[in-house]
Amino acid sequence: MNVFIREMKANRKALILWSIGVFLMIASSMGKYAGLSASGQSVTDLMAQMPQSLKAIMGMGTFDLSTVSGYYGVLFIYLAMIAAIHATLLGASIISKEERDKTSEFLFVKPISRSKIITLKLIAALVNLLILNLVTLVSSILLVQNYSQGEGIIGDITRLMLGMFILQLIFLFIGTALAGVSKQPKTAQSYATGILLFTLMLSFAIDLNERITVLKYLTPFKYFEAKNLMDTRGFEPVYLILSGLIIAVLIKVTYIFYEKRDLNV
Amino acid sequence: MSVIEINHLTKYYGKERGIIDINFDVEEKEIFGFIGPNGAGKSTTLRTLLGLIYPTSGSAKLFGKDCIKYGPELKREIGYLPSEVFYYDKMKVIDLLNYSASFYKKDCSKRIKDLAGIMDLNLNKKIDDLSFGNKKKVGIVQGLLHEPKLIILDEPTSGLDPLMQQRFFELLQEENRKGATILFSSHILGEVQRMCDRVAIIKEGKIIQLDKISALQESNYKKIKVQTSGSLDQNYFNIRGVSNLEVKQHIVSFLFRGNINSIMKKISETDIANLWVEEPDLEEIFLHFYEKES
| Grouped pLDDT means (10 residues each) for chain A, 265 residues | 92 96 93 76 72 72 76 90 95 93 92 95 97 96 81 85 95 96 88 93 86 86 84 83 96 95 86
Bridge partners of B34, per DSSP, are B185, B200
C-beta neighbour count of A202 within 10 angstroms: 17
Q: Give the pLDDT mean for B48-63.
A: 94
CA B206 – CA B200 distance, rounded (Å): 10
Chain A residues within 8 Å of chain B (Cβ atoms): 2, 6, 10, 101-106, 108-113, 116, 260, 262-263, 265
Tally of structural domains, chain A: 1
**pLDDT greater than 70 at residue B291:** no
Minimal CA–CA distance to A174: which of A110, A220, A226? Answer: A220
If we measure between CA atoms, which residue out of B105, B121, B124, B123 comes closest to residue B160? B121
Q: What is the pLDDT of residues B237-256, one digit of tens each?
A: 888 888 888 888 888 888 88
Distances, alpha carbon B97 to alpha carbons A72, A111, A162, B24, in Å:
49, 15, 40, 33
In a domain, A156, yes or no: yes
- Listed by start position, the domains of chain B span 2-216, 220-293
Give the relative orientation of helices A154-181 and A185-208 as an angle to the nearest 10 degrees.
140
Question: Does the B2-216 domain belong in CATH 3.40.50.300?
Answer: yes
Q: What is the reported pLDDT for A114?
A: 94
Task: Give the pLDDT score at B294.
Answer: 36
Q: Inter-chain contact A263–B52, Cβ cutoff 8 Å?
A: yes
Is residue A265 a part of any domain in this protein?
no
Question: What CATH number should be reported for the domain whose range is B220-293?
Answer: 3.30.70
Q: Range of A21's domain? A: 2-260
Higher pLDDT, B160 or A251: A251
- Considering only CA atoms, which of B79, B91, B82 is closest in space to residue B130? B91
- d(CA A13, CA A90) in angstroms, rounded, equals 13
- Nearest alpha carbon to residue B171 among B199, B198, B137, B133: B137
**What's the pLDDT at B286?**
67
> Considering only alpha carbons, which residue of chain A is nearest residue B140?
A106
Give residue A128's pLDDT. Answer: 97
Q: Distance, in angstroms, between A101 CA and closest chain B CA?
A: 7
User: A259 in helix, strand or coil?
Assistant: helix
Residues 6+ apart with CB under 8 A from A154: A141, A145
Inter-chain CB pairs, A–B, below 8 Å: 61
Residue A41 pLDDT: 66
Q: Which residues of B touch A10 (CB under 8 A)?
A: 88, 90
**Is residue A114 assigned to a domain?**
yes
For residue A94, tell me if it sits in a domain.
Answer: yes
Instruction: Provide the ipTM.
Output: 0.84
Task: Say whether pLDDT at B126 is over 60.
Answer: yes
The pairs formed by A35-44 with CB atoms below 8 angstroms and a separation of 24 or more are: A36/A65, A36/A66, A36/A71, A37/A66, A37/A68, A37/A147, A40/A66, A41/A66
Which residues is B10 bridged to in the sheet? B57
Residue B14, SS3 per DSSP = coil
Give which of A93, A74, A90, A88 is closest to A25, Cα–Cα. Answer: A74
Q: Quick check: is A75 in a domain?
A: yes
